[in-house]
Structures are given as structure tokens and as C-alpha cells.
Structure 1
Amino acid sequence: MAVKDYSIRVVGREYIVTKSNRTVFRVKCKHYGKNGCGWRVTASYKPHLECWQLITVMPDHRCIPDDVSLGHRNLDVNMIANLLKEFVKRSPAYELENVERAVKIEFGFDISYSKAWDGLKRAIEDFYGTWESSVQELPTYMETLQNVDRTHLYEKYKHVMLIAATIDANHHVLPLAFAIVDTDCTESWLWFLQLVSRYIVQDRYHTCLISDRHVGITSAVERIPAFHPPHGRHRFCLRHVCSNFNQYVKDVRLKDMCWRAGTSIDLLEFNETIAAIQLLNQAAYDWLNRIDKSKWAIAYDEGWRHGILTTNLSECINGVLKWARRLPITALVQLTYDRVVLFFVKRLHDA
């Protein structure tokens, strides 16, 4: 590493390795023998000292430097990864564009996109582990994490993080539950929401679940009594309803009218807006009419939403955890847990 650092930072020359094993390491200038350049270095490992010792260090380079504006061949993935370790430790979501900038500042050379990507990937794997090892360790890890939960009371694989959140009495977003599943399907949502019902909702009444109209969610909710009368209700995110509506009608004006209808607290105003939509586009009116009005319109809500129109709560949590998505699964679980604990501690101090 010292030879590599010297060649990159100090002299800006490239070298080639002529011999490398457990006892001898020998390198020479890429242009050794040309223009009188005889730069070479030999090091030998000394077992009794448990270190490497320089044996031969020949004169300074006499060759003409190459044009290395497009990168230094000895500036390899390992060296880039070593540079990036502290960056990914502080921010797992460290961006690729920052890699190229950091390398340029530190070493003075540009690197290719592929080398930047490989270096960032190596740094993440060195610090957080690989996806393969992470998945293999998950069963044991989760057993440990469950114990931690009892004590204290989200690249490669396409897992999905499911999130449940609410609003506390101080109108702050309160995360309730997270789960990492293989696919975003009915079975996954049924399992997740059953656990939410069992351990969070319990026997409470007047619970309102707000979600988008994903078929996996709606199918799962149909099988969970906690979100049906008389215990609770299931409502749709109005923003998603309007977005789905606009995908169908492809008319921003009608989309705005849909939002106006959904946010209206007056039944007469709601009916007038819906009638105006029908006059403009019968198919659009029919599309909205197929959705239970109580699930998306405040005028028919009967107070279950408590003024919450969208799923922005969960998406707010999702945004906070965005930085962890690229990590191996066990690192993602641990960092999610740690970040949520920090939020709870901060809220306690601010209370």
C-alpha cells in the first residue's frame, strides 16, 4: 500500500508487479529500462519481526510521465474502497457521483464510472457485509434482534420493506412496525397486518387504516376484523386515488376536481363536484362511482380519518430510511432499528 500511495500521490507514475508472494514483493516502473529509468523496489517479509522490510530501493524515476488524466492504473478498487469506508460508515447512501469527486480530491486522478461503482460496492461490503452472507446470517440475527426488542420495550435481492406509522398526541410521526418481505403481495401484507392487529391494535376500537389501493393490501385487509366495522375502518390515500384516476382519464382538470371532491367536508359541495365531473366525462364519473365513497371522500368518512388524507406518514418514514435501502439485509435491519431508537430518544428529550 505504501508503494502504491507513493506512486499515485507523489510521483504520479505507474508501476508493474514483477513478483508477489508471502515472502517477496517486487515492483518496477512501467517504463523500466527506457530513458535510463531504473526505478524498482523490493521488499521481504521478516517472520521474526512480523513485518515487511525494504531490501532494494533504486533511484528516482527518470522516465517521462505518461498522460494519466484518465486514471492511474495502480489506483485500484481496493484503494478506492479504503478511501470510502469512512464515508459509507457515516452515510450508507453515499452517492456514486461523490465517489469520483472524493477520489479526484484525494489522489488527483479521474476514475471510470465502473471503477467508482466497484470501489463503492467493495467499501459497503467490507463494512456491512455482502448480500449473500447477510441472507445466510439472517435467521440467527433475527433471533438476537427479538431479544433486544424485548429488552428495550429497508439492491441485490428485491426485498420490500413494509411500514406502519401513525400520528402521536403531539402531531409527530410515530413509526409502529417494519417488516422485510420477499414480495409485495397479498400473503406478505396479510402476515404483516395480522401482526399489526395482534400486537399494536389489539382490542382497541376506532382504528382507521389508510393505504393505497394496492390489491395485495385490500385483499389482506378484507380478512382482518380489526379494520372493519364495528372495530375499525379501512380508508384509501386520496392522493393515490387521484393519481389512479388521472392515469385513467389523463386530464389534469378532472384530477383536480377529484381532489376537490375528496377533500370537501360538505356533502352538497361533494355532490356538485361529482356532478360536474359527470357532465365533462361520463367514463370518469363511472370510474369514481365504483369506489366506495366512504373510502376516499371526507364528506362520507364519518370522522374516522381524523383529517389525515394521505399515506404521507409512512412515506415520510420511508424517506428517512431511504439511505439504508442499498445495504445488505442484516445491516438494513440494524440501522433501521438504531435510527428509530434515536428518534424515540430525541422525542423523549424534546417532550
Structure 2
Amino acid sequence: MAYRAKAYASDEVEGSFTMQYLRLYDYGHELLARNPGSTVKVAVEENDGKPVFLRFYACFKACKNSFLLCRPIIGLDGCFLKGRYRGGLLTAVARDANDQMMPLAYAIVEVENKDTWSWFMELLIEDLGGTEVCSSLTLISDQQKGLLPAVQNLLPGVSHRFCVRHLYANFRKKFPGKNLKKLMWRAATATHPQKWESEMRSIREVNEEAFRHLVAIPPRSEVLTLNLFQFVIILSYSLYG
């Protein structure tokens, strides 16, 4: 009874999830009317002869134009939606000339996997000028399994770096401790191969297994550090650069 009362009150204050999803087409048309030149895609699937929402993509015209003045770096990330209908939110974010974050595009999808990332990336690439333009960019993300093959298929050879914040989140599950954390970040922020080698030797002296775990990650991938929320970027060199 308490749950139903809370759900009813939430619908009255915030609006019903069901009604909001039913009006996605209206929302898409409103975006296009207020932002001419933008890209809005709504994908549905048939269920008993009725359309059921599947995916939604939006990229504003102002963001497309502004990206021409941004650094040639794009951060990609996704998260789970915890509403009534679940799903996932995919985002592409750049950093503008004023050193601030600028959202490029976002999408709501049924799940975060290779298929949905490919769908999102195809639309994003088209909005940013095509494969030729995007192949010269640097992409930064976590090691999401669906994203990596999608990028490799659509933009083979593109520079792709991993966020060290996400790498450490996985690393500390096996190798906790402040000392190893400090050594890992020193290696990740090293700006010369010799410095990187020195920090990796220090890690090996502390924990051989931790060293093997990190050395298995290509240095070219791990040495670019990105916090997707603050976009603090440190450019580094690799042993094989």
C-alpha cells in the first residue's frame, strides 16, 4: 500500500514514465522545431502490431558546429538507467575552447552492448562529418566490451585510449592498497618511456602479479588519463610509440 501511494505521488509530481515514453515522438519533433539542423532518431519495434520504444538518439546542431572549435578528443561512456523501464544511457562528450565539457550526443538504448554502441557510433560519425574526419580523432573510454569492437569495426586504426580511473577501479579489486594505487598513477602519468619503465619496475618489486596485470595493457592505451567528469587529460608517450 505504501509503495503504491509513493508511486502515485511520484507520478503526480514528476510525471508518469509510461506517458513520457508515449510522447517521445513529440519530444523529438519539438527538438527539431526548436533546433533546426539537429539530428533526432527514434527507433521502435513491433509488438502485437503496436510500436514499442527501443532507442532514442539526439545530437544538437549547435553541438555539431561547436565541435569544430573543440580539441580533437571525444570521451565515450555509458550508464544504467534505474527507472521503471531500465535501459542504458550512452554519451559522447568533448572539451571546448573554454576548457569546459560540451556534450555532443546522447542516446537511450535497451542495453549497453556491441549492437547499441555500433548504432550510436554510426550516427555520431555521420553527424561529425563522416569516417574520414573521425578517423583523426582520439577516443577515450573505459574497457566496455561492446564499445571496443564497435569502434574497431567503424573506425579501424583510430587512436583509442582507456580512462585510468576505470582501469584502476578494476585493478584495485585484485590489488588493493594505497602504495600500488600511487605507483599505478605515477606510471600512467609518466611523460617519458624511461619514467614509465622506472615506475613499472617499482610496481614489479612490490607485487609481481600486479605488474603482470598492468603490463598486459598496451602502454599506448593506458598512458592517456581521463576523468570523464572533469576531463583532466595528460598526454604521455609509450614504449612502442
Cα distance in 1 for partners of 2:207, 2:37 equals 58
Equivalent position amino acid for 1:184 in 2: E
Cα distance in 2 for partners of 1:197, 1:150 equals 19
Aligned to 1:258: 184
Deviations 1:105-164 (A, max 9, x none): xxxxxxxxx48x835x43442355312222233345434434443267472111221111
Deviations 1:264-294 (A, max 9, x none): 1121111011112122222111111221110
Whether 2:5 is the aligned partner of 1:118: answer yes
Whether 2:139 is the aligned partner of 1:209: answer yes
Please tell me whether the aligned partners of residues 166 and 313 of structure 1 are also in contact (alpha carbons under 8 angstroms). Answer: no
Select which of 217, 225, 230 maps to 1:291.
Answer: 217
Cα distance in 1 for partners of 2:5, 2:222 equals 47
- Map 1:54-203 to 2 at 5 A: 114=2, 118-119=5-6, 121-126=7-12, 128-150=14-36, 153=61, 155-200=83-128, 202=130, 203=132
Equivalent position amino acid for 1:179 in 2: A
The alpha carbon displacement at 1:208 in A equals 0.8
Select which of 190, 199, 207 maps to 1:273.
Answer: 199
The alpha carbon displacement at 1:182 in A equals 1.2
Please tell me whether the aligned partners of residues 163 and 178 of structure 1 are also in contact (alpha carbons under 8 angstroms). Answer: yes
Q: Please, which runs of 5 or more residues in structure 1 have no aligned partner? A: 1-76, 78-113, 299-307, 315-351
Equivalent position amino acid for 2:229 in 1: N
Equivalent position amino acid for 2:136 in 1: H
Give the structure with the higher percent strand.
2
Equivalent position amino acid for 2:147 in 1: I
Deviations 1:303-346 (A, max 9, x none): xxxxx6332258xxxxxxxxxxxxxxxxxxxxxxxxxxxxxxxx
Give the structure with the higher percent helix.
1
Cα distance in 1 for partners of 2:160, 2:168 equals 17
Cα distance in 2 for partners of 1:280, 1:128 equals 53
Please tell me whether the aligned partners of residues 210 and 310 of structure 1 are also in contact (alpha carbons under 8 angstroms). Answer: no
Per the normalisation by structure 2, the TM-score is 0.68
Residues 289, 178 of structure 1: alpha-carbon distance in 2 compared, 3 angstrom cutoff: same
Aligned to 1:59: none
Three-state SS of the structure 2 residue aligned to 1:125 is helix
Cα distance in 2 for partners of 1:159, 1:145 equals 22
Equivalent position amino acid for 1:145 in 2: L
Cα distance in 1 for partners of 2:32, 2:10 equals 25
CA-based RMSD? 2.6
Larger radius of gyration: 1
Please tell me whether the aligned partners of residues 165 and 313 of structure 1 are also in contact (alpha carbons under 8 angstroms). Answer: no
The alpha carbon displacement at 1:213 in A equals 0.9
Deviations 1:54-74 (A, max 9, x none): xxxxxxxxxxxxxxxxxxxxx
The alpha carbon displacement at 1:260 in A equals 0.7
Cα distance in 2 for partners of 1:140, 1:309 equals 36
Deviations 1:198-247 (A, max 9, x none): 1125332531111011112212211121xx43xx3111001111221111
- How many residue pairs match? The answer is 187
Per the normalisation by structure 1, the TM-score is 0.48
Residues 149, 289 of structure 1: alpha-carbon distance in 2 compared, 3 angstrom cutoff: same
Residues 124, 200 of structure 1: alpha-carbon distance in 2 compared, 3 angstrom cutoff: farther
